[in-house]
Chains A and B, each alone.
Chain A
Amino acid sequence: MSQDGCLVKILVNGEPQEVGLNVSVDGLLVSLGYGGKAVAVAVNRDFVPRSSYPQTRIQEGDEIEILAPMQGG
């Protein structure tokens, strides 16, 4: 949740969600229950490198894709 309590609408894997304005990717993952999980995150079809999670902020209308790894071959 952001300091001013303002919520923004985003899509997470195609499903509408509301999260705090300016929440980081780190914070988003924790709030969605993915904290510490080995997932990859794309914001508007662009993967965010793990080291950029803290400074990447979620904005109104962002389309988020959370992708679990796949091992099969």
Chain B
Amino acid sequence: MSQSELGKKELERYSRHLLIPEVGRGGQLSLKDGKVLLIGAGGLGSPAAVYLASAGVGPLGIVDFDRVEASNLHRQILHFDGDVGKKKTESARETLTQLNPHVQVITHDTRLHKENALSILGDYDVIIDGTDNFPTRYLVNDACVLLGKPNVYGSIFRFDGQASVFDPRGDGPCYRCLYPEPPPPGVVPSCAEGGVLGVLPGIIGVIQATEAIKIILGKGDTLTGRLLLYNALEMSFHELKLRKDPHCPLCGTNPTVTELIDYEGFCRIGESEEPAEAVASLTVVELKEKMEGERSFVLLDVRESHETEICQLTGSVLIPLGQLANRMDEVPRATPVIAYCKKGIRGEKAVRLLNEAGFTATNLEGGIIAWAEQIDPEMARY
């Protein structure tokens, strides 16, 4: 079937679209020709992809380098129970092809970076930013402005969501007009760190899909120049007016960012907040040996209490890192301390605090996740 025709099956499938004056046959053909790229097949990308594919939008591109994990499944509806361990792009292709065989799915099984972003994004008409990290958000924003392509933005955290359209074609503001620079690393938690309500990306991702469809159809008022805020606990939407910053380094009158930059460096990823001296540490294998011997140490869990509801090492004492400085008197001084957290970062900070206070503390390398991976496969991970 050529791109400029709709076959019988497509006419039937899209008939409820064809009945809307704002869509009709012409609009449906535009959707069929509309090239939309989803950055990320995760929380936001999943519902967006499901609705876009169902609506006959395609070719539909998906960029993701990740594999499906069990902790994705409560919200990432492209992926099913049996998909754990599969490439997200592959899992997405399977789901979308079953959903609508008329739509071509193009997978980009790669991490988006400054060397490949312009060539990948260049092939598409509308970009949907459903990524989960700041470097990629700035990369997508900058690439869209440099290419002159609309960027349908969404982000989520716990019960809150945001959506907007950064559309350089109409001289609209960009993400840098709102947030000229990223927060320091570690300050703003990700969904992996802080959690997210499973249905939340359903709302925001479908808003993004709606905006993409409107852009392709050229109908209605998009979120250009508006930031939509959603709170699921209050069940409230409200919007704030976004303004283009004439001094924006990317889209302002005298731009200083005229090509893609090093976004990991821009977001200071990999930099530690303080010059880190190595702290004493032990591996999970070494801890296991110690635990099997005579137990002459305190096992200190420095995570938050809700994390212990998923998994905990037997015999742990819980003092969250944020409370440790004020609760040092609860830690026995005469005994060596082994501190652990999820992956080892907070544990290292705890060890520094304890050693400065005169304790003999050691950090568990890789945290409880390393324990679950190497020692106890039955332990739930998160």
Mark A residues whose CB is within 8 Å of B.
37-38, 40, 42, 45-52, 65, 67-73
Contact = CB atoms under 8 A, between A and B. Distances in A.
Contacts of A65: 240
11 contacts: A38-B187, A47-B240, A49-B243, A49-B245, A49-B246, A49-B248, A67-B240, A70-B157, A71-B188, A73-B132, A73-B201
Contacts, number: 88
Contact of B179 (A38, A45, A73): A38
A21 B241 CA distance: 24
B154 interface: yes
B133 interface: yes
Most buried by B among A42, A51, A70: A70
B29 interface: no
A14 to B, nearest CB: 11
B245 A51 contact: yes
A71 B137 contact: yes
Contacts of B188: 68-71
A48 B162 CA distance: 18
B59 interface: no
B180 interface: yes
B367 interface: no
Nearest to A52: B245
A46 B227 CA distance: 10
B162 A70 contact: yes
Nearest to B42: A73
Contacts of B245: 49-52
Interface of B: 40, 42-45, 129-134, 137, 154-157, 160, 162, 177-184, 187-188, 190-191, 194, 196, 201, 227, 229, 238-248
B239 A45 contact: yes
Contacts of B157: 70-72
Given A68-B188, A71-B137, A71-B190, A42 B240 contact: yes
A53 to B, nearest CB: 11
A73 B243 contact: no
B155 A73 contact: yes
Contacts of A72: 43, 132, 155-157, 190-191, 194, 196
A40 B229 CA distance: 13
A40 B243 CA distance: 11
Contact of B154 (A42, A45, A67, A73): A73
A70 B45 CA distance: 16
Contacts of B229: 67
Contact of B182 (A67, A69, A73): A69
Contacts of B246: 49, 51
B179 A69 contact: yes
Most buried by A among B154, B238, B240, B242: B240
A69 B267 CA distance: 13
A63 to B, nearest CB: 10
Contacts of B243: 46-49
A65 B15 CA distance: 44
Contacts of B190: 71-72
A27 B241 CA distance: 22
A70 to B, nearest CB: 4
B111 to A, nearest CB: 14
B240 A73 contact: no
Contacts of A49: 177, 243-248
